[in-house]
Amino acid sequence: MPIIEDAREAVMTGRRTDGARVRRPLSPHLQVYDMVQMTSGLSILNRATGVAWTIGMVFLVWWLVAAATGQEAFDRAQWFFGSFLGILVLAGLTAVAWFHTFAGLRHLYWDFGHGYHLPEVIKTGWAVIIATGVMTVLTWIIALIAW
């Protein structure tokens, strides 16, 4: 029997039921997953929206600090949020907030032990996507009417 030079090599080899030696993968990685699947796609989007939402909080803090600092700082912040880029940022953050909220509710539903069958997983995934779109548009319609 050959001597294993690397200790990690010992856990990477095994035997099939017929006795043949096989090498196990180190770990599943991106090439294993189909990114178009509802489950993996929404999982990755949920994590990405969590990061985007956290970064978006920088804009909220900026706006609050500007409001507390004085009129000139507040006017600069308001100018940015009223610009084309600012409106794009706010629209993106609106979609991010709604998606992360609905995906979180979906995960809460799973935490109660429901919705694990594949047809229901796909149905709730589409519900998250559709609800995000509807609520983002509805939020902006209300915002533009109130503006």
Q: Running DSSP on this structure, what letter comes out for residue 114?
A: -
Query: Would you state the pLDDT for residue 147?
Result: 79
CB 56 within 8 Å of CB 93: yes
pLDDT digits (tens, 9 = 90+) for 27-73: 666 566 666 788 888 988 999 999 999 999 999 999 999 999 999 99
pLDDT digits (tens, 9 = 90+) for 92-134: 999 999 999 999 999 999 999 999 898 999 999 999 999 999 9
C-alpha of 60 from chain center = 20
pLDDT digits (tens, 9 = 90+) for 75-92: 999 999 999 999 999 999
